[in-house]
Amino acid sequence: MNSSQETIPIRPFLLGIASEADACRVEEAILNGDLDTASLANSEDELIDDYCTGRLSAEERRAYIANFLVTADRQQRHEFGIALIDYARKQSSDDALSIRRLEEPRRLTFIPSWRRVASFAAAVSVLLAALTSYEYTMLRRAEQLAAESRNEVARLQAAVASGADIVSRPNERSGNSTGDKQVLAYGMPVVDFSSSTRSVSPIILRISTNITFVKIKVSLAGPPSVKYREVVLTQGGTQVLAQEFSAANVCTSGACTSVVPASALPPGVYHFKLDEASSEGGFRELIDQVFRVER
Interacting residues of 211 by C-beta distance below 8 A, sequence separation 6+: 152, 188, 189, 262
pLDDT in tens, 263-274: 888 898 887 888
CATH classification code of 182-294: 2.60.40.2550
Distance (Å, whole) CA 241 – CA 15 = 10
Mean pLDDT for 196-211 is 77
Q: Look at 125-139, 166-180, 192-206, 220-234 and tell me which has the smallest mean pLDDT.
A: 166-180
Domain spans in the chain, listed from the N-terminal domain onward: 1-164, 182-294
pLDDT at site 196: 56
pLDDT in tens, 218-255: 877 766 777 878 888 887 888 887 878 676 665 555 67
- Look at residues 225, 249, 229, 283 and name the one whose alpha carbon lies nearest to residue 21: 249
- Greater pLDDT, 116 or 263: 263
Distance (Å, whole) CA 44 – CA 35 = 13
pLDDT surpassing 70 at residue 211:
yes
Interacting residues of 73 by C-beta distance below 8 A, sequence separation 6+: 263
pLDDT at site 100: 60
pLDDT at site 181: 41
Share of the chain above pLDDT 70, in %: 66
Please state whether 271 falls in left (phi above 0), alpha (psi between -120 and 50) or beta: beta
Distance (Å, whole) CA 295 – CA 127 = 32
Q: Look at 58-72, 145-159, 170-184 and tell me which has the smallest mean pLDDT.
A: 170-184
Mean of pLDDT over the chain: 75
pLDDT surpassing 50 at residue 171:
no
pLDDT at site 289: 84
Distance (Å, whole) CA 68 – CA 117 = 39
pLDDT at site 98: 61
pLDDT surpassing 50 at residue 186:
no
Strand partners, 274: 230, 287
pLDDT at site 180: 42
